[in-house]
Chain A
Amino acid sequence: MRYLPLTPDDRRAMLARIGAADMDALFRDVPKAALAPLSAFDLPDTQGEMEVERALSKLAARNVAAGAAPFFCGAGAYKHHVPSAVDHLIQRSEFLTSYTPYQPEIAQGTLQYLFEFQSQVALLTGMEVANASLYDGSTATAEAVLMAQRITKRGKAILSGGLHPHYSETVETVAGLFGPIVRGAVTPGSTEDLAALIDEETACVVVQSPDVFGLIRNLRPVADAAHAKGALLIAVVTEVVSLGLLEPPGAQGADIVAAEGQSIGNGLNFGGPYVGLFATREKFLRQMPGRLCGETVDAEGRRGYVLTLSTREQHIRREKATSNICTNSGLCTLAFTIHLSLLGEVGLTRLARINHAKASALADRLSALPGVEIVTPAFFNEFTVKLPKPAAPLVEALAAKGVIAGVPASRLLPRDKSVESLLILAATETNSDEDFAALASALKEAL
């Protein structure tokens, strides 16, 4: 087996040094009945690199990649162009094959990029502090609700009907153990009355902007309503490129921001791994979950970085920790940081504008089709259309014709008949006019 350096001679010599007769002697603590023979595993034997690559390439070829078709899916995961330098750099052995930086003297590379990442996330979201990432946007949102429950010592969480339904379900599963989770009405293209739901028991209100239907929401009125009752506003962002063009949640009164960072630096990967961004106010720092990297000095007075405030974390606090999280999204944070460094202020701003312009052009084009109605009046790069027939079968029909038309709202809200004919579409810098024409013509034909 090409990955195993020990030869049969090595193994014999090592057993001799140990003083063990054979391998079984090393497994002597395992009850005999529990040792399974190789034949107990109905699985294939070792294969060479060429054979493995052939088999798995066949599986990959059965999928249609986003880049291989006119493509308009968003709803929490976005197709963007990632500069080639990003993937080359994150594959450097020193980044790819290192562990969590528990030995800071020989992990300054990881620690410094985490510090840069935290700085970038704080700036983008308009918040004071950010952590070194969580798993993804949905789990970051659940952690944000738990944090709000700890801070306010209240249980109830109110989720906007515009929050990505997968995020709502994740919050219900995890934070529902500690208080009631109340979902606001689903109002595609408009805002529901969240203020009416907030009471003295409310720990937090969770609002996504742009929301799952693409609508840009003004967070300020909800923030004021929440704060008036002593509750926190958690702002969720699933498309972080939008922060290059839109007011950040920090400027709109958010207390915690939970975001999905996939759009910057990270591929679609069929849903993971992604990178959860998590930012808050400095006064809530010690209630924050996840790893934090901080600046310090070494014994010679040189600037350096360490993991810090670990008294919040499971390996120190055990059952009293702020979260059980251990592993985060290390390499995905690096991809995010490198891509955002390449973009810079100017690049991100331009990228965001292009995204908005593309989506606007697509909306104009689709609204000209008979029977198609644009549901979302204000959007970044994603909006919802109402079709004259159910969207899900239509999307499968268009896929058969080589157009990946978007995400039917019914995929996310399968029991809500009112969204059956809604289709959520995203357009990014990767979409061309030909893509738009292909979609418009395929849609026209199918309707």
Chain B
Amino acid sequence: MSMNNQGRPTSAGAGGVAGMATISGDRGLDHEEPLIFELGHGAVGVDFPDIKVSDDRLGGLRRKDRIGLPGLSEPEVVRHYVRLSRMNYAIDSGLYPLGSCTMKHNPRLNEKIARLPGFGDLHPLAPRSVTQGALELISQLMNWLTTLTGMPAVAMSPKAGAHGELCGLLAIRAAIAARGETRKRILVPESAHGTNPATAAFAGFTVDEVPAKPNGHVDAQALKAKLAPDVAAIMLTNPNTCGLFEGEVKEIADAVHAAGAYFYCDGANFNAIAGKVRPGDLGVDAMHINLHKTFSTPHGGGGPGAGPVVLSERLAPFAPIPLLVADGKGLRLIEDVQAAPEGAKPFGRMCAFHGQMGMFVRALTYMISHGRDGVRQASEDAVLSANYILASLKDVMSAPFGDGPCMHEALFDDSFLEGTGVTTLDFAKAMIDEGYHPMTMYFPLVVHGAMLIEPTESESKASLDRFIHVLHTLATEARAKQTERFAGAPHLAPRRRLDETAAARKPVLRYKPAVSIKEAAE
């Protein structure tokens, strides 16, 4: 071991300290962190006076028992959550290639604008005269969304993609009812996101699966053969979850319309075509837009999202309240179904208030920053980067549809791992040891052991090259049956593989001081 001039060792040394047990249980920057409940000791992190209140106006319902919340000071709470944060992977710290999830850069300007008091501290039921700027922002965002999609209308209130799907299907349901018809069946390709069939069932429809062709595209012939007077709609993702553009989309739409049904497009992958292709030109009747994917509102560890739904001329009248309209005094929300303007027949209400305003502000900030040229360039760069990965890895990883170009994500299956003993899961977990978040695994269901890689437009070429080098090497080693690093991976993360079976068999879903994890596991 050599020393530098401060006397500090310059290498880890050969003493086998890597597996060394530490006194604290922490390991350098890796801290073990108890639950907040285990840290509480009766301190208080806020300064409020201790006042008494009478029972006179409490209806005899004053709380009798303690709640059971722990008490900590501010520095303790801050340290606790900072330490927790360090156990997370994030797009800000590395490439996050989750296919279909679109982990792109989240500009901080968007956060700043969303926190301006005029947006962040504005009450949803504040008087109309003091909310005109907010309504104008929503109006501008609606203009961007309808212009980019080539659709005439948009419903803003859905709170996430799946909520948008529900909104779209309820509009379709209402449109069918308005024609005096009943149609119960919805066609969903087998490659669809799980939310599609779940939403169809949630909206009271039955689900009929449409197979994929061996080339990864939906089987348009099979789809057309299923069209009948009881079919309400198809739900098609385009680009689809194999990362391919459904080139027959217009013919499919025409056939669907000829059968009296509607075309719902899952817009999860709109980020591949924004600024280049308008879904309205493809015969789409309804499509949700995940603002947290395409327009980069932060995923936040699983939300909040926002899922506005663009609607065709045929479905626009059925959009849910609230509706945004202009009159002589500026913008105004219509919040009552029966107060809807002439011709509008809102199907109801998706949620309280007017939708995910905080996400609207971020998304509009993103759009104005990019401009139409930037949005288009972002789509192109996302597609270019995915194809670069596909082209660079398909010699060692099996790309079932790799003969042609992909859109914004590259799909591989596990046939390159055949006979190696390494599974898709092992391969993905080995990526964690290399400092990467794994790709989407085992989805879509149409290929075996799927690995779906979406780099987004946010990576530099150097970053992509480094990622490709790591995956190429992993694949090469696996195929050569050098499988040590795969067995039981990850080895270097804050946790090794977690026992999900035990978690589900005897669920421990909250802190309970009396029950230890050991007893719970037994």
Contacts and interface: CB of A to CB of B under 8 A. Distances in A.
B63 A245 contact: yes
B82 A89 contact: yes
Interface in B155-183: 159-163, 165-166, 170
B127 A399 contact: yes
B358 to A, nearest CB: 4
B67 A350 contact: no
B508 A294 contact: yes
A215 to B, nearest CB: 8
Given A109-B86, A170-B352, A271-B353, A343 B46 contact: yes
A203 to B, nearest CB: 16
A314 B207 CA distance: 13
A207 B130 CA distance: 32
B461 A14 contact: yes
Nearest to A334: B301
Interface in B53-71: 53, 57-71
A62 B133 contact: yes
A118 B148 CA distance: 40
A106 B87 contact: yes
Interface in B340-386: 347-359, 361, 364-365, 367-374, 376-378, 380-381, 383-385
Interface string A54-76: 01111111111111100101011
Nearest to B357: A270
A98 B77 contact: no
Nearest to A315: B194
A26 B337 CA distance: 46
Kindly state the interface size class of chain B when it binds its partner: 35 or more
A157 to B, nearest CB: 15
A216 B134 contact: no
A411 interface: yes
Contact of A378 (B57, B282, B301, B339): B57
A100 interface: yes
Contacts of B377: 1, 4
A154 interface: no
A340 B63 contact: no
Interface in B442-486: 443, 457-461, 463
Contact of A272 (B201, B356, B374): B356
For the complex of A and B, list the 8 residue pairs with the smallest distance between their C-beta atoms, beginning with the closest. A271-B353, A60-B118, A62-B133, A173-B348, A331-B300, A271-B124, A378-B59, A273-B304
A445 interface: no
B111 A91 contact: yes
A129 B58 contact: no
Given A115-B35, A273-B358, A321 B457 contact: no
Given A136-B159, A217-B59, A271-B354, 11 more contacts: A4-B381, A11-B381, A62-B136, A65-B118, A91-B111, A139-B163, A173-B347, A272-B306, A334-B301, A341-B70, A347-B46
Given A18-B405, A29-B404, A59 B494 contact: no
A434 to B, nearest CB: 18
Contacts of B355: 271-272
Interface in B31-75: 32-33, 35-37, 40, 42-46, 48-53, 57-72, 74
B130 A36 contact: no
Interface in B67-110: 67-72, 74, 77-78, 80-82, 84-93, 96, 98, 101, 103, 105-107, 109
Contact of B115 (A28, A87, A353): A87
Interface in A363-387: 363, 377-380
B387 interface: yes
- Best-buried of A119, A164, A243, A354 by chain B (most CB within 10 Å): A119
A298 B493 CA distance: 11
Contacts of B162: 314, 324-327
Contacts of A315: 193-195, 443
Interface in A317-362: 317-321, 323-332, 334, 337-338, 340-351, 353-354, 356-357, 360
B510 interface: yes
A313 B195 CA distance: 9
A270 B122 contact: yes
Interface string A1-13: 1111111001101
